[in-house]
Amino acid sequence: MWATDAPYLATCRGEVGPTPPVWFMRQAGRSLPEYRARKGTLNILDALRDPALVAELTLQPVRRLGVDAAILYSDIVAPVAAIGFGVEIRSGVGPVVERPFRHESDLDRLRPLVPEEDCPWQADAVRLLAAELEVPLIGFAGAPFTVASYLVEGGPSREQVRTRTLLRARPDLWAALLDRLADLALASLRSQVEAGAAAVQLFDSWAGSLSAPTYRRHVMPASRKVLTGLADLGVPRTHFGVGTGELLGAMADAGADVVGVDWRVPLDEAAERAPGKVLQGNLDPTALLAGPDVLETEVKAVLEAGRAAPAHVFNLGHGVLPEADPDVLARVVELVRAG
């Protein structure tokens, strides 16, 4: 079990320590040989049903890298899969939906999530991890917009044309879809925290395809429902998206304690766009592929810019790339600790 004053938790609450805590989005998986060895060809959605395996895959990067937080091994589509919407995750592709969300009648396929019945293995994994871990466990969910984009498009999509069309053409149906997805995310996050997760992150990875006014009108109410619906649990809430430079102000208004920033906006500038918020980020994931000198320069620049925020959680600007060398990730941890 971790301490309540663990550096990651203290920093999320706005306390500034000697150096920022560090963890990496997508630290489990892809880039780790021990992950590939342990998981084999098992599909991630099947792997999630095995709490001991989930605990092991969550612990692997913590052991190897000595990061300040663990993130539960799961996926943003796990809740929709658990209620039987018909989602699979194809390796190298991402989530693929058998029958995409297109009509009013598809709302009936999005019933409420009852975690203790639909995915009891998840709370079991969280309990195992809470007992084992010495650093805080971060639970997570996909934000309503990003999950909706998979359900509406049927799979990964660069421009989210159908999604952006639906929210304009059928704002009523869109609002009903997002409200159901907010309830799913909230039920999943509450159950993760009740089982022992110390913090949560809401991933709105693809929100960057929206303008700020569109985000505020069609997306923020649902994300706010998730984030404020956790307030009574007293755990730090981080809200992250990619390409969201123009949305940082709006995301800061949605109810989170920490705003995640991708690599496109330096943290000192992000601090102006999201005033008063603790910031998380934002090393460009490709800096890990560019050689030791570039890496050191860029880590130092992120640390320096991060001092403009009330407090700073060091991370990448998005997930670890599959081609990243784990030894280079370990070097980042070392550089951050050196300050």
**Interface residues toward ligand CP3, by CB under 6 A:** 25-30, 44, 71, 73-76, 89, 91-95, 140, 203, 205, 319
| Cβ nearer to ligand CP3, comparing 161 with 338 | 161
CB of 89 to ligand CP3, least distance (A): 5
42 versus 338: smaller Cβ distance to ligand CP3: 42
Closer residue to ligand CP3, CB minimum distance, 55 or 308: 55
Find the radius of gyration of the CA atoms of the chain. Answer: 19
For residue 297, what is the enclosing H or E element? helix 292-306
CB of 306 to ligand CP3, least distance (A): 21
Strand ranges of the sheet holding 258-260, from the earlier edge strand across to the other edge = 70-71, 137-142, 199-203, 237-240, 258-260, 278-283, 312-316
71's enclosing H/E stretch is strand 70-71
Q: CB of residue 29 vs ligand CP3: minimum separation in angstroms?
A: 3
State the minimum distance, in angstroms, from the CB of residue 87 to ligand CP3: 10
Tokens 């800096």 correspond to what residue? 287
Smaller CB distance to ligand CP3: residue 127 or 170? 127
Give whichever of 2 and 150 is closer to ligand CP3, judged by the CB atom.
Answer: 150
**Smallest separation (angstroms) from ligand CP3 to the CB of 16:** 25
Minimal distance, residue 304 CB to ligand CP3, in Å: 26
Closest alpha carbon to 240 in 330, 149, 307, 146: 146
Nearest CB to ligand CP3, comparing residues 6 and 69 = 69
Nearer to ligand CP3, 79 or 319 (CB): 319
Helices (H), 154-291: 161-169, 171-195, 212-218, 220-228, 248-252, 267-273
Nearest to 258 by CA among 245, 241, 243: 241
From the list 185, 262, 278, the residue with the least C-alpha distance to 226 is: 185
**Tokens describing residue 333:** 């941890």
What is the rounded (10 degree) CA torsion for 284, 286, 292, 297? -30
Nearer Cβ to ligand CP3 (156/310)? 156
Distance CA 319, CA 47 (A): 20
What gap in Å lies between CA 187 and CA 333, rounded to an integer? 33
CB of 265 to ligand CP3, least distance (A): 17
Shortest gap between Cβ of 204 and ligand CP3 (angstroms)?
9
